[in-house]
A = this chain, B = another copy of it.
Amino acid sequence: MSVFTYTVRATSGRARTGVFTTPHGEVATPTFMPVGTQAAVRAVTPEQVRRSGAQVVLANTYHLALRPGEGLIEKLGGLHDFMRWDGPILTDSGGFQVFSLPGVEIRDRGVRFKNELDGSVVELTPERSIEIQNALGADVIMAFDECTPYPADEKLAGTGVRRTLQWLERCMSAHGRPHDQALFGIVQGSTYLHLREACARSLVELDLPGYAIGGVSVGEGHEEMCRITEHTAPLLPDDRPRYLMGVGLPEDLLAAVGYGIDLFDCVIPTRYARSASVFTARGRIRLTHRRYRRDGYPIDPSCDCEACSGGFSRAYLHHLFNANEVLSAVLATVHNLRFYQRLMERARAAITAGSYVEFQRRFLEEYGRGR
């Protein structure tokens, strides 16, 4: 039996909470995975990530292959040891980053691009992506797919689906560690629901340990993302985790959980934190705004993160951001990561209680009130 199992524990409408088992431990879903692009969640220690309640972190194949190189990481014991994260890790395929590079060449064989660090020409193929991900050793690895840009005409979207499916088979053939690394397939098809459907059905036939919905968070907006996810999620098997890639804002996550999504990743909480944008129960605020100059309250009085429970005031954070102190990024990141984890914890509890829609409504009502 595979080490990778997914068991639904409770449902509320189409929202579900469950347990995903991996070689590095169990993951309660729905969950949010902080992004550690270069084998580090920006501005925080693994201990701070752990204390935020995060169960899984994501790292980027593209960045790590270029620097420091997957061979070095493998030699040093793999990505878990290297970045000192003993929980589950997911690596992306590198495709998403590569497709957005200037001058990238996409062929059936794979993708060629210029290494941004030294200018050399690099090729990324399904085989090479899996080779890198096998060396890194994450618990979940992602198929090398063609992420269709937005907007795309139907022909381009169709090509994306065809390549994604062909490349997936090559990924599966190349995959050297199926016993301890789960290879997830990715549903593409842009905004064309019939393409999404065809792609999903083909993927499901391959009986993969998990499925992702890709080609979202590429500029299509909340409504389109919802439409795609609502339509696609139910096409995926109940007993496998469903991962919505690169999403998103709190309202996006809650909508997607309502459609039956289990896993999320996004740079928003960490990236926003570094530009002083922090999430509160009453919406997002920008700590550099002068209204917080003398504000003695914590970022969010209802939050239990190290920054809020530690008594750091908005005025202090305002000062730290103005003074360009590294601690500003640290504390804001600690807060935002905890905000996202609390959101998922509360979603799980609401699903277990059978009242997910009510929770979502109340959360959004208060969240919108601060605006």
Contacts from A to B (Cβ < 8 Å)? 38-40, 42-47, 63, 67-68, 72, 75-77, 81-84, 293-294, 296, 306, 310-313, 315-316, 318-320, 322-323, 325-327, 329-331
- Docked Cα-Cα span, A40 to B320, in Å, equals 8
Q: B residues within 8 A CB of A40?
A: 320, 323, 325, 327
Q: How far is the CB of A326 from chain B (nearest CB, A)?
A: 4
Q: Is the CB of B327 within 8 A of A68?
A: no
Contact with A45, one of B82, B83, B315, B327 (Cβ below 8 angstroms): B327
The answer to whether B325 touches A38 (Cβ under 8 A) is yes
The reply to whether B84 and A312 form a contact with Cβ atoms under 8 Å apart is yes
CA distance A83 to B328 in the complex (A): 12
Question: From residue A104, how far is it (CB to closest CB) to chain B in Å?
Answer: 22
Docked Cα-Cα span, A67 to B316, in Å, equals: 11
The 5 lowest CB-CB distance pairs between A and B, nearest first, are A43-B326, A38-B323, A68-B319, A40-B327, A40-B325
A330 contacts B323, C-beta separation under 8 Å: no
**A67–B319 touching, CB < 8 Å:** yes
In the assembly, what is the distance between CA of A81 and CA of B325, in Å? 18
When C-beta atoms are compared, the residue in chain B nearest to A77 turns out to be: B296
Give 22 CB contacts A-B under 8 Å.
A38-B319, A40-B320, A40-B323, A40-B325, A40-B327, A43-B326, A43-B327, A47-B306, A47-B310, A67-B319, A67-B322, A68-B293, A68-B315, A68-B319, A72-B293, A72-B294, A75-B294, A76-B313, A82-B313, A82-B316, A84-B310, A326-B330
With beta carbons under 8 angstroms apart, the residue of B45, B77, B323 that contacts A306 is: B45
CB of A294 within 8 A of CB of B67, answer no
Given known contacts A38-B319, A39-B319, what 7 new A-B pairs fall within 8 Å (CB)? A42-B325, A43-B327, A44-B327, A67-B323, A75-B294, A81-B311, A83-B316
Please state the number of chain copies in the assembly. Answer: 2
C-alpha spacing A68/B319, complex, angstroms: 6
The complex places the Cα of A214 from the Cα of B76 at a distance, in Å, of: 48
Q: Please measure, in the bound complex, the distance between the C-alpha atom of A326 and the C-alpha atom of B306, giving whole angstroms.
A: 18
Complex alpha-carbon distance, A46 and B323, angstroms = 17
Residue of B nearest to A333 (CB): B326
Across the interface, which residues of B come within 8 angstroms of A330, CB to CB? 43, 45, 326, 330
Closest Cβ–Cβ distance, residue A321 to chain B (whole Å): 11
- Please determine whether A326 and B326 come into contact, CB atoms closer than 8 angstroms: yes
Contact between chains at B84 and A296 (CB < 8 Å): no
**A67 to chain B: which residues have CB within 8 Å?**
319, 322-323
Q: Which residues of chain B have C-beta atoms less than 8 A from A83's C-beta?
A: 316
Chain B residues within an 8 Å CB radius of A43: 326-327, 330
Q: Which residues of B contact A325 (CB under 8 A)?
A: 38, 40, 42
B45 touches A331 (CB 8 A): yes
For A320, give the chain B residue with the smallest CB separation.
Answer: B40
What's the least CB distance linking A151 to chain B, in Å? 34
A16 to chain B, nearest CB (A): 34
Assembled-state Cα–Cα distance A72/B319 (Å): 10
Question: Residue A72 contacts which of B81, B315, B327 (CB distance < 8 angstroms)?
Answer: B315
